[in-house]
Amino acid sequence: MPHDPKIKDVSVTNRAVNPHTADAPLPSANIPMPCTPPDLIDIGINLAHDSYDADRDDVIARAIHSGVTQMIVTGSCAPSTRKAIELARSHPQCLFATAGVHPHHATDVTEALLTEMTSLASAPEVVAVGECGLDYFRNFSPHAAQQRAFHSQLELAARLHKPVFLHQRDAHADFLAILREHSPTLCGGVAHCFTAGAQELESYLELGLTIGITGWICDERRGAHLLQLVARIPADRLMIETDGPYLLPRDLVPKPTSRRNEPSYLPHIARTIAAARGESLEALAAATAATTRRLFHLPAPPGHG
């Protein structure tokens, strides 16, 4: 969050999506349902975002109906982290939370906020620290503040023995240097919304990170390179995500008039990734779900024991 300027961060704007246009037409009606729905996990959904306020329960129900059995709700500041934990508490085994401060909000990071984030991140529903990292594309916070906030959150993750949920844009060299420094104490992590090139991919894999792929791969203008790259990610290092409400897959037909992305579109993204890797949706679902449950210590989804 936020990678797409069309829908802004919850803390930047409070503009709500018009509930009358938000989810028409319904996507799930256009996705053929397999006999056994796949077991997909959306590792990055900003479900605390106010664009879901009017119909959050429907969004969750549509996701489950489309085969998304579990979702990790992204916390990107204190309020969205509190909301993510609240959502996870009311949907046990189905929703989980991350606790973090996005680099856009790095200037907000004070000792008091770090104390609060420590207590939020300690909650059992929180499966990772983040999203945290560096974003030199938007530069909403100065680089020094971003680096300080990133260091603090990597230290927190190490202290709590939880993996990290990482964001990086246009800051690869600094990001890698900081991660390398903390790498010996970290319990793994995911490079969420990976959109970079082969060199970045290799360096993340070398560091032991897992790679999160979004609907960016469905964008023929700026995501075509990912079609080749995803085939180079080992099956046990790949995860899938929507990053909703951002990053609506560009090739989705028909598109919701709201332009809002949601987890029920994850099967569409997963099919694109599976095709690019030359494997079935079922194989991709099984591998990514196993990898996700292993890194984040998720239980089996509801109804699966």
Query: CA 234 to CA 211: how far, in whole Å?
Result: 10
Angle between helices 143-160 and 172-182 (to 10 degrees): 30
Looking at residues 13 to 52 of the shown chain, list those that interact with Zn ion (rule: CB under 5 A).
none
The CB-of-132 to Zn ion minimum distance in angstroms stands at 10
The CB-of-246 to Zn ion minimum distance in angstroms stands at 8
Say if residues 206 and 179 touch (Cβ distance below 8 Å). no
Nearer to Zn ion, 167 or 260 (CB): 167
Determine, following the binding rule CB under 5 A, whether residue 1 of this chain makes contact with Zn ion: yes
Nearer to Zn ion, 1 or 270 (CB): 1
Query: CA 169 to CA 175: how far, in whole Å?
Result: 9
Nearer to Zn ion, 48 or 193 (CB): 193
The CB-of-74 to Zn ion minimum distance in angstroms stands at 8
Sign of CA dihedral 302, 246, 281, 234: negative
b or e along 101-120 (b: 16 or more beta carbons within 10 Å of the residue's beta carbon)? bbbbbbbebeeebbeebeeb
The CB-of-51 to Zn ion minimum distance in angstroms stands at 16
Contact with Zn ion (CB under 5 A) among 105, 167, 260, 277: 167
N-term to C-term CA, the chain: 33
Nearer to Zn ion, 95 or 193 (CB): 193
Nearer to Zn ion, 66 or 242 (CB): 242
Please choose, out of 23-31, 139-147, 166-174, 195-203, the segment that lies near Zn ion by the rule CB under 5 A.
166-174
Nearer to Zn ion, 38 or 103 (CB): 103
- Residues whose CB falls within 8 Å of the CB of residue 277, separated by 6 or more in sequence, listed in order: 230, 231, 284
Query: CA 229 to CA 18: how far, in whole Å?
Result: 37
Say if residues 89 and 125 touch (Cβ distance below 8 Å). yes
- Residues whose CB falls within 8 Å of the CB of residue 173, separated by 6 or more in sequence, listed in order: none
The CB-of-131 to Zn ion minimum distance in angstroms stands at 5
Q: For the window 179-198, what string marks contact with Zn ion as x by the rule CB under 5 A?
A: --------------x-----
The CB-of-243 to Zn ion minimum distance in angstroms stands at 6
Residue nearest to Zn ion (CB): 167
The CB-of-137 to Zn ion minimum distance in angstroms stands at 11
Q: How many helical (H) and strand (E) elements, i.e. helices and strands, does the chain have?
A: 9, 8
Q: How many residues bind Zn ion (CB under 5 A)?
A: 3
**Which residues of the shown chain bind Zn ion in the complex (CB under 5 A)?**
1, 167, 193
